[in-house]
Structure formats: C-alpha cells, structure tokens
C-alpha cells in the first residue's frame, strides 16, 4: 500500500503544505508573508496572525494540487521545532486537529533535520553517510547524516548564522529584509576581490560570523576614505551613502565571497576529518548562486559528489517536512496528540 502524507510547515514566516506519496512530492505549496518586509525582520505576532489566515487555503491548495483526498492520507506531519512559538503553534494545532478528525497518526518533525533531508527528495540521492552544510537564517551547521533517521551536528556557529550575516549586511546597506537574495543579485555584477573582509580563525568545525558583521559596519562608517576595518569613523552620512551607491555591487560581491569562503573552508575540513565524499547543502542560504557554484567547483576539485537541492527545497518549505515524515512513518515514529511545539529542541537523532 502506498504511504500518503500531508505535511505542514509554519516555523517562521512561510505557511507551507505538501503532500508526498512513498517519498515522492506531489505538491509543495508556500504562502510567503510580505508583511514583515518594512520592519527589517520577522515580527513574531504578525507571523502567527498571517499563519492563521493562510493555513486553511494553503493546506487546501496542497491537497488539490496533489489530487489526494483527505481520506486517502495515512498520516499528518508538522514542524514541531525549532521556530517562533506562536508560528509553530498554528501549524501544530492545525495538524493535531486534522489527525484527530480523520483518526490518522501524527508525525512531529524537526525543522533542521528536514532541511538536511531535502537532499533525499530528488532521484539522485547521496549515499550514507553524507555531510550536509545547513545554512539558514537562524542556523549554520555541518551535519553528519548516517541514515534518514540518524544525524549529528559536528560543527555549528558560535554566534550569528550565515543567513544573518547576509541579512545584517543588507540592512547596513539600506536594503529590505530578507537581504540575502538581494546581495546575491547585486553580487552577480560585482568584483569579489575588491574589498578584503577578514576571515575569522575559529577552532575545529565551528563557525563565527559576528566579527564579519562588525568589520562591515566599520568599513561602511569609514567609507570613502580607505578600505579600513577599524573603529575610526571618518565619513559623514552623505559620504557613506554615496560610497554605498557607487560601490554596491563590489561590496555585495566581496561580502558574499568572504561568507562563502568561511563556509567552504569548514566543509573541506569536515570532509578531510571524516573521509566522507558525499557532500550536500541545505537551508535558505543554499539558494545563493555563489555558494552553489563554489560547492560544485570545490567538489570537482576534491573528488566529492555534491548535492544541491532545487531552489524551492532550499528556503523553508513543507516538502522537506513531508520527506522526513515519510522516513519516520516507515519506523512507526508517531507522536500523541498531547505533544507541544518547542521553540528550541535538541537536534541529534
């Protein structure tokens, strides 16, 4: 009998639903919340309200697109952690209500594990064990995945996430939230070697991005005088703005180049230490064209097989929740209706 799962994702500012049959994605519907743009970041209360408005039509559309009826579902899955608690609650309550009304089992999914398993959606899948660089707005991790239901974080950021580095740089440049995709766009026409931002020296497989953010802040505040990174503010607000306007593409390309080199150097180290040659990326920042190109080129040089999810499976989506739930279903890994969502949760499984 085929296994049909409806999955719901609502951990941050995307309301998403997906239906998969035997691990094959039949629909993947996402409603993006535009309401946050003018605030320069996600406003939790507004996110919860938007999820409430979106969830019924989004689930309805995902079911219709898949051609599956509610009665044909074998389980309902939802993102249980981590995320904004108000946002998680909307998806969790909706999934629980459906499971109760339809008398179907409920599957709780960890959002970060789901990002990793987005790499199991295409036919061309990595072999186990594989390494995954997961880079999103809230996380930067190197994950060692030994089976669809066993994985371990072997390196992570000690401060900001890579997505935050992109978004905070964009904010300093006066660009709207989320700034990652805009930096990617402007970087395409810039010189990545024009400005040399420093690379942090962090031991082991961990990352740090907060120093980079500070150096960009000082760099912009000293704009126009020279390519300096120390605290000696010389530029007026007008000079700073003119400098940004005249050099936007080169600044974006140079910052992006540094973020990518920090990420790729740690992946190289992890691959060397573990001897693993199947290397994946995941998470919103894996939509970055420079990172995708750099991973492919590094992989070709190092003799790795690299796996890069399609764009729609990089940023938050419910298809990744559905594929993770499918493997949990095969292990009878169900939860009771008493389960609560959690803004933070241990990762290893």
Surface-to-core class of residue 271, CB atoms within 10 Å of its CB (0-12 exposed, 13-18 middle, 19+ buried): buried
Binding partner selected for residue 287 from Zn ion, ligand KG4, none, CB under the kind-specific 5 to 8 Å limit: ligand KG4
Which of 170, 181, 180 is CA-nearest to residue 251?
170
Binding partner selected for residue 23 from Zn ion, ligand KG4, none, CB under the kind-specific 5 to 8 Å limit: none
Nearer to Zn ion, 195 or 313 (CB): 313
Position closest to ligand KG4 via CB: 284
Which of 105, 104, 113, 103 is CA-nearest to residue 11?
113
Q: Please tell me the distance from the alpha carbon of residue 45 to that of residue 276, in angstroms, as a whole number.
A: 42
Nearer to Zn ion, 117 or 271 (CB): 117
Which residue matches tokens 């120093």? 211
DSSP string spanning 74-94?
SEEEEEEESS-HHHHHHHHHH
Surface-to-core class of residue 42, CB atoms within 10 Å of its CB (0-12 exposed, 13-18 middle, 19+ buried): middle
The distance of closest approach from Cβ of residue 163 to Zn ion in the complex, given in angstroms and rounded to an integer, is: 9
Three-state SS at 311: helix
Binding partner selected for residue 184 from ligand KG4, Zn ion, none, CB under the kind-specific 5 to 8 Å limit: ligand KG4
Nearer to ligand KG4, 55 or 116 (CB): 116
Nearer to ligand KG4, 79 or 215 (CB): 79
Check residue 316 for interaction with Zn ion (CB under 5 A): yes
Q: Please tell me the distance from the alpha carbon of residue 196 to that of residue 199, in angstroms, as a whole number.
A: 9
Q: Nearest 5 degrees, angle CA 185-CA 189-CA 193?
A: 110
- What does the chain come to in residues? 349
The distance of closest approach from Cβ of residue 302 to ligand KG4 in the complex, given in angstroms and rounded to an integer, is: 23
Check residue 160 for interaction with Zn ion (CB under 5 A): no
The distance of closest approach from Cβ of residue 226 to Zn ion in the complex, given in angstroms and rounded to an integer, is: 39
Check residue 136 for interaction with Zn ion (CB under 5 A): yes
Interacting residues with ligand KG4 (CB under 6 A): 12, 136-138, 163, 166-167, 178-181, 184, 283-285, 287-288, 315-316
The distance of closest approach from Cβ of residue 69 to ligand KG4 in the complex, given in angstroms and rounded to an integer, is: 30
Q: Which residues bind Zn ion (CB under 5 A)?
A: 136, 316
């Amino acid at each position: 009998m085929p296994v049909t799962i409806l999955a719901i994702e609502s951990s941050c500012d995307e309301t998403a639903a997906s239906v998969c049959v035997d691990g094959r994605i039949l629909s993947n519907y996402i409603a993006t919340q535009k309401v946050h743009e003018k605030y320069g970041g996600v406003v939790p209360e507004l996110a919860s309200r938007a999820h409430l408005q979106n969830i019924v039509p989004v689930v309805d559309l995902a079911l219709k697109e898949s051609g599956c009826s509610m009665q044909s579902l074998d389980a309902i899955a939802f993102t249980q952690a981590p995320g904004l608690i108000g946002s998680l609650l909307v998806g969790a309550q909706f999934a629980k209500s459906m499971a109760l009304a339809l008398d179907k089992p409920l599957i709780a999914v960890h959002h970060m594990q789901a990002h990793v398993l987005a790499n199991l959606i295409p036919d061309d899948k990595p072999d186990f064990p594989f390494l995954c660089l997961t880079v999103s707005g809230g996380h930067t991790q190197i994950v060692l995945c030994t089976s669809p239901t066993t994985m371990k974080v072997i390196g992570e950021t000690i401060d900001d996430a890579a997505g935050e580095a992109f978004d905070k740089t964009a904010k300093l440049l006066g660009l709207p939230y989320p700034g990652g995709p805009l930096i990617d766009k402007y970087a395409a026409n810039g010189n990545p070697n024009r400005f040399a931002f420093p690379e942090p020296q962090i031991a082991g497989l961990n990352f740090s991005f907060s120093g980079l953010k500070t150096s960009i802040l000082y760099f912009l505040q000293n704009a126009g005088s020279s390519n300096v990174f120390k605290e000696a503010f010389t530029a007026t607000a007008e000079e700073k703005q003119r400098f940004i306007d005249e050099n936007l593409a080169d600044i974006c390309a140079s910052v992006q180049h540094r973020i990518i080199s920090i990420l790729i150097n740690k992946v190289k180290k992890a691959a060397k230490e573990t001897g693993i040659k199947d290397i994946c990326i995941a998470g919103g920042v894996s939509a970055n064209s420079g990172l995708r190109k750099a991973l492919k080129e590094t992989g070709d040089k190092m003799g790795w097989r690299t796996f890069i999810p399609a764009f729609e499976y990089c940023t938050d989506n419910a298809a990744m929740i559905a594929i993770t739930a499918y493997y949990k279903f095969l292990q009878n890994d169900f939860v009771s209706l008493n389960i609560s969502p959690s803004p933070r949760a241990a990762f290893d499984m």
